[in-house]
């Protein structure tokens, strides 16, 4: 583990149209002591060629391709295993960071002695145009809070590996980021939220994240099979999620 090095965890699959812009948002960071670990889940587009062109010019960018298509959870776990940094940050291969994202979040963590943090973020459409919607954080959220609403944007999270160790991402196709945060909150009591908008989240047409009703089965799997909640509690949390995410907020 290298002190103050930030390992950026980026699983990817067929994101050739976006991953170059994502990499550039990392290269534009005001913090330069980082490594970007891109794990490719057997893309069939030009993702590998695009990443190779950046990696050839910047040795902080590291590319690893899985032997078979295994899902984002496996790709993310492999990237985390390869990481050498004292801190770990997560960035999906179609999202973007503001240039001061790492610097401001690292300062926020070190000044407050926080080990596990996230930031506010804004949505953009598939073409990268802002939708005008900002998703705000809560000052701090515990395990039950993440179960209820999960106010955590995946590409905003950073944590202290030295303090918390490494984790294996639960192997479900969707909602594996939520599952990871729940695992981490069994070790660290809170995830602390910065109010600063430091990430732009891309909403892609036809993605399963847009088709929210399709996510219900993954929530059930998360609650029952991974977190081992009771049937009653699982139904309760799914009902809350449907109301908050589908009918009320999103």
pTM, to two decimals: 0.89
Summarize pLDDT for 178-195 with one digit per residue, the tens. 889 999 999 999 999 999
The average confidence (pLDDT) of the chain is: 89
Summarised one tens digit per residue, pLDDT across range 67-99 is: 999 999 999 999 999 999 999 999 999 999 999
Q: How many residues does the chain have?
A: 250
**What confidence category does residue 149 fall into, taking pLDDT thresholds of 50, 70 and 90?**
confident
170 in Cβ contact with 180 (< 8 Å): yes
**How many whole angstroms from its chain centre is CA 9?**
8
Cα 203 to Cα 31, 60, 200, 207, 208, distances in angstroms = 27, 28, 10, 8, 10
| CB atoms inside a 10 Å sphere around CB 114 | 21
Sequence-separated (6 or more) residues with CB below 8 Å from residue 75: 11, 12, 13, 39, 40, 41, 66
Residues 6+ apart with CB under 8 A from 107: none
pLDDT at 208: 42
Residue 233 clears pLDDT 60, i.e. is over it: yes
User: What pLDDT was estimated at residue 14?
Assistant: 96
What would the pLDDT profile of 4-13 be if each residue is shown by its tens digit?
899 999 999 9
Higher pLDDT, 214 or 126: 126
Q: What is the mean pLDDT of residues 40-64?
A: 97
Are 60 and 86 in contact, with CB atoms under 8 Å apart? no
What percentage of the chain reaches a pLDDT higher than 70?
A: 90
99-146 pLDDT per residue, tens:
999 999 999 999 999 999 999 999 999 888 999 999 999 999 999 888
* For range 157-177, the mean pLDDT: 88
Neighbouring-strand partners of residue 89: 8, 158
Which segment, 116-130, 162-176, 210-224, is predicted with the most confidence on average? 116-130
Residue with the larger pLDDT of the pair 158 and 232? 158
Three-state SS string across 140-204, please?
EECHHHHHHCCCCCHHHCEEEHHHHCCCCCCCCCCCHHHHHHHHHCCCCCCEEEEEEEEEEEECC
175 phi-psi bin (left φ>0, alpha ψ -120 to 50, beta other): left
- For residue 122, list its beta bridge partners: 134, 200
Does the pLDDT value for residue 247 go beyond 70? no
């Amino acid at each position: 583990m290298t002190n103050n090095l930030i390992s950026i965890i980026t699983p990817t699959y067929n994101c050739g149209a976006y991953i170059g812009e994502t990499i550039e948002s990392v290269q534009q960071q005001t913090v330069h002591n980082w490594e970007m670990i891109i794990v490719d889940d057997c893309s069939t587009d030009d993702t590998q060629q695009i990443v190779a062109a950046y990696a050839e010019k910047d040795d902080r960018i590291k590319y690893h391709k899985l032997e078979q298509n295994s899902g984002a959870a496996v790709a993310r776990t492999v990237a985390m295993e390869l990481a050498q940094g004292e801190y770990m940050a997560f960035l999906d291969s179609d999202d973007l960071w503001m240039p001061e994202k790492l610097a401001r979040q690292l300062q926020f963590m070190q000044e407050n002695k926080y080990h596990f943090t996230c930031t506010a973020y804004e949505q953009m459409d598939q073409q990268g145009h802002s939708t005008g919607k900002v998703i705000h954080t809560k000052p701090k959220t515990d395990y039950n809070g993440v179960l209820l609403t999960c106010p955590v944007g995946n590409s905003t999270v950073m944590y202290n590996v030295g303090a918390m160790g490494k984790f294996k991402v639960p192997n479900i196709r969707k909602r594996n980021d939520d599952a990871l945060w729940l695992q981490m909150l069994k070790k660290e009591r809170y995830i602390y939220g910065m109010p600063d908008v430091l990430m732009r989240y891309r909403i892609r047409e036809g993605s399963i994240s847009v088709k929210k009703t399709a996510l219900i089965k993954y929530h059930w799997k998360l609650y029952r099979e991974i977190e081992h909640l009771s049937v009653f509690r699982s139904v309760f949390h799914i009902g809350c999620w449907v109301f908050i995410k589908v009918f009320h907020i999103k």
